[in-house]
């Protein structure tokens, strides 16, 4: 047992008769490690992109709420009446009425 551990630590398993299978396994493990690292970096990039998009979504939602609030204020009857008064147009004293057209 101690002899096997000493052979592994000295690297004799890489130069023995069956070393090709050992090298093939080492290259395979190195390839898997490279793929794992690349996959991890790709996943982190996606996480950062999702965080950026969520921040942009919050900003756009806030801008939408502000714009909608401004629109509601401008559509209020009192604001419209004030703007029309500047153009010498006032509110009607008579209520509106329907025109009904009967067709045969």
Which of 22 and 41 is assigned the larger pLDDT?
Answer: 41
Q: Does residue 74 register a pLDDT over 80?
A: yes
The rounded radius of gyration (Å) of the Cα atoms in the chain is 39
**Range with top average pLDDT, 10-19, 48-57, 74-83, 84-93:** 48-57
For the entire predicted model, the pTM comes to 0.55
Mean pLDDT, rounded, for 16-31? 84
Mean pLDDT, rounded, for 84-102? 86
The predicted pLDDT at position 24 comes to: 85
Share of the chain above pLDDT 70, in %: 100
Name the token pair of 16.
Answer: 């023995």
Name the token pair of 75.
Answer: 């559509």
CB 73 within 8 A of CB 79: yes
The predicted pLDDT at position 30 comes to: 96
Domain boundaries, the chain: 2-86
Mean pLDDT, rounded, for 48-65? 97
């Amino acid at each position: 047992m101690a002899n096997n551990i000493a052979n592994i630590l000295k690297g004799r398993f890489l130069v023995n008769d069956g070393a090709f299978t050992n090298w093939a396994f080492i290259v395979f493990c190195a390839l898997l490690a490279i793929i794992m690292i690349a996959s991890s970096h790709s996943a982190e990039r996606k996480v950062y992109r999702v965080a950026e998009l969520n921040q942009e979504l919050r900003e756009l939602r806030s801008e939408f709420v502000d714009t909608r609030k401004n629109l509601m204020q401008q559509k209020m009857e009192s604001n419209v009446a004030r703007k029309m008064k500047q153009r010498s147009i006032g509110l009607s004293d008579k209520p509106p009425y329907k025109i009904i057209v009967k067709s045969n």
